[in-house]
């Protein structure tokens, strides 16, 4: 890394050591912001002229949630050990169950994102998306303010992604597309889109 970039990171570190305690945390933050900002553009670029997609959007959401679950679990186990996750899950089953409410909303949001981006341009979509912040804050404050406070944040992430995966599977079942979603041609269309998005 050239010295000028390193100095910028160091200045940010001095201004907010709690926010970016390491250079790696700053890099992850920048990557997350870049992916979040470009997500709407990438999704919009994969729609057809008739405002549809060549892939099952729920399968994309489900696979994304599986990837997030794997990453969250690895990060939790890395810091706490494999035995600890089992005992923490058993100790926090109420939190796991309560997470079905925000996970369901999260599932709806992630699936409706494709519908909304088929109808609206990314700028309009992101303006409307700001309502999500308020709704999420209210839901988490109401449901989890007492029981969720003592649960480790990485374990809460694991709970959210497990519950979201369940909600997405239920959504596929309700739409009658669970088996079709994982056929080789359906997965191949997702693979083509992901290759396109990586190239962009």
Q: How many of the other CB atoms lie within 10 Å of CB of 75? A: 13
Dist CA 80 CA 137 (whole Å) = 28
19-64 pLDDT tens trace: 667 777 778 888 888 887 788 888 888 888 898 888 899 998 999 8
Dist CA 119 CA 96 (whole Å) = 34
Mean pLDDT (whole number) for 97-106: 90
158-187 pLDDT tens trace: 999 999 999 999 999 999 999 998 888 888
Phi and psi at residue 172, to the nearest 5°:
-65, -40
Both tokens assigned to 150: 């003592």
Phi and psi at residue 150, to the nearest 5°:
-90, -5
Q: Are residues 65 and 161 in contact, defined by beta-carbon separation less than 8 angstroms?
A: yes
Three-class DSSP category at 55: coil
Of 144, 130, 70, whose CA–CA distance to 101 is shortest?
144
Both tokens assigned to 62: 């489900």
Res 11 pLDDT > 60: no
């Amino acid at each position: 890394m050239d010295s000028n970039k390193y100095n910028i990171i160091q200045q940010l570190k001095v201004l907010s050591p709690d926010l970016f305690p390491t250079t790696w945390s700053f890099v992850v933050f920048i990557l997350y912001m870049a992916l979040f900002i470009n997500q709407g553009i990438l999704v919009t670029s994969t729609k057809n002229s008739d405002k549809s997609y060549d892939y099952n959007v729920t399968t994309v959401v489900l696979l994304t949630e599986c990837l997030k679950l794997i990453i969250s679990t690895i990060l939790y186990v890395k810091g706490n050990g494999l035995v600890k996750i089992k005992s923490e899950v058993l100790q926090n089953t109420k939190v796991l169950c309560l997470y079905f409410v925000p996970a369901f909303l999260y599932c709806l949001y992630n699936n409706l994102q494709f519908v909304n981006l088929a109808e609206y341009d990314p700028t309009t979509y992101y303006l409307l998306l700001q309502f999500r912040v308020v709704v999420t804050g209210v839901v988490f404050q109401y449901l989890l303010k007492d029981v969720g406070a003592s649960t480790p944040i990485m374990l809460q992430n694991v709970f959210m992604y497990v519950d979201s995966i369940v909600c997405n599977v239920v959504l596929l079942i309700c739409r009658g597309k669970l088996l079709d979603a994982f056929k080789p041609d359906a997965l191949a269309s997702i693979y083509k889109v992901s290759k396109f998005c990586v190239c962009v």
